[in-house]
Chains A and B, each alone.
Chain A
Amino acid sequence: MKLETYQQPYSVKRLYFLVRNRLLDDVSPILIVAAAFLALNLLFLLSAHQYSPGTVGGWALIIAVGGIFLAGNGFAKMHDGKAGTEWLLLPASTLEKYTAALVMYLIVYPVFAALLAFLESLICSGIGYLMHKSSLWIFNPFTAIIWENYLNYAFFVVLALAGSARFRKFALGKTAAIMVSFMLLASLLLVLGALLLDSEGRQILYNGIKGHSVEIQRPLTVSTESSLKILGNLFLAGTGLFALVYGYALVREKEARDEVQ
Chain B
Amino acid sequence: MLEIKNLNFGYGKQQLFKQLSLSVQPGQIVGLLGLNGAGKTSLLKLIAGALYPQGGEITLYGRSTGHRHPDVLADIYFVPEDPWGPALTPEAWLDRFGVFRPAMNRSLFYSLLEEFQVDKGKLISRMSYGQRKKCALAQAMASGSRLILLDEPTNGLDIPSKAQFRRSLSMLDLQETIIVISTHQARDLETVLDPILIIHEGALLCKFPAAVVREQFSVRRVETLEGLPVVYAEQGALGYQALLADPGAGADLEMLFTAAIHNPEAFRKALEKQGENIPQEKL
Residues of A within 8 A of B (CB): 1-3, 5-9, 11, 14, 17, 21, 24, 80, 82-83, 85-86, 88-94, 96, 253, 255-257, 259-261
Please indicate which of the listed interface residues A5, A89, A93 has the most CB atoms of chain B within 10 Å of its own CB: A89
Given contacts A6-B71, A85-B78, A89-B76, contact A255 B52 (CB under 8 A): yes
- Main secondary structure on chain B at its contact with chain A? loop
Bound Cα distance A253, B37 (Å) = 24
Whether the Cβ atoms of B73 and A89 lie closer than 8 Å is: yes
Contact B41–A91 (Cβ < 8 Å): no
Contact (Cβ within 8 A) B70 A6: yes
Q: A9-B70, A82-B85 are in contact. List 6 more A-B contacts (CB 8 A).
A: A17-B100, A85-B45, A94-B68, A255-B52, A260-B11, A260-B45
Chain A residues with Cβ below 8 Å from B42 are 260-261
A91 touches B78 (CB 8 A): no
Q: Can you identify 16 A-B contacts, CB atoms within 8 angstroms?
A: A1-B101, A2-B102, A3-B102, A5-B102, A6-B70, A6-B71, A14-B70, A82-B80, A88-B49, A89-B49, A91-B74, A93-B69, A256-B50, A257-B51, A259-B82, A261-B39
* A91 and B101 contact, Cβ closer than 8 Å, known pairs A11-B70, A24-B96: yes
Contact with A along B61-88 (1 / 0, CB 8 A): 0000000111101101010101111100
Interface residue B99 (Cβ < 8 Å from any Cβ of A): yes
By beta carbon, the residue of chain B nearest A90 is B100
Q: A89 near B69 (CB under 8 angstroms)?
A: no
Report A98 CB to chain B, min CB distance, Å: 13
Asked if A261 contacts B86 (CB within 8 A), the reply is no
**Residues of chain B contacted by A1 (CB below 8 angstroms):** 99-102
Contacts of A80 in B (CB 8 A): 84
Q: Does residue B204 face the partner (Cβ distance < 8 Å to A)? A: no
| Complex-state Cα separation, A89 to B79, whole angstroms | 11
**Also in contact, A89 and B70, with CB within 8 A (given A82-B82, A261-B39):** no
Q: Is the CB of A260 within 8 A of B41?
A: yes
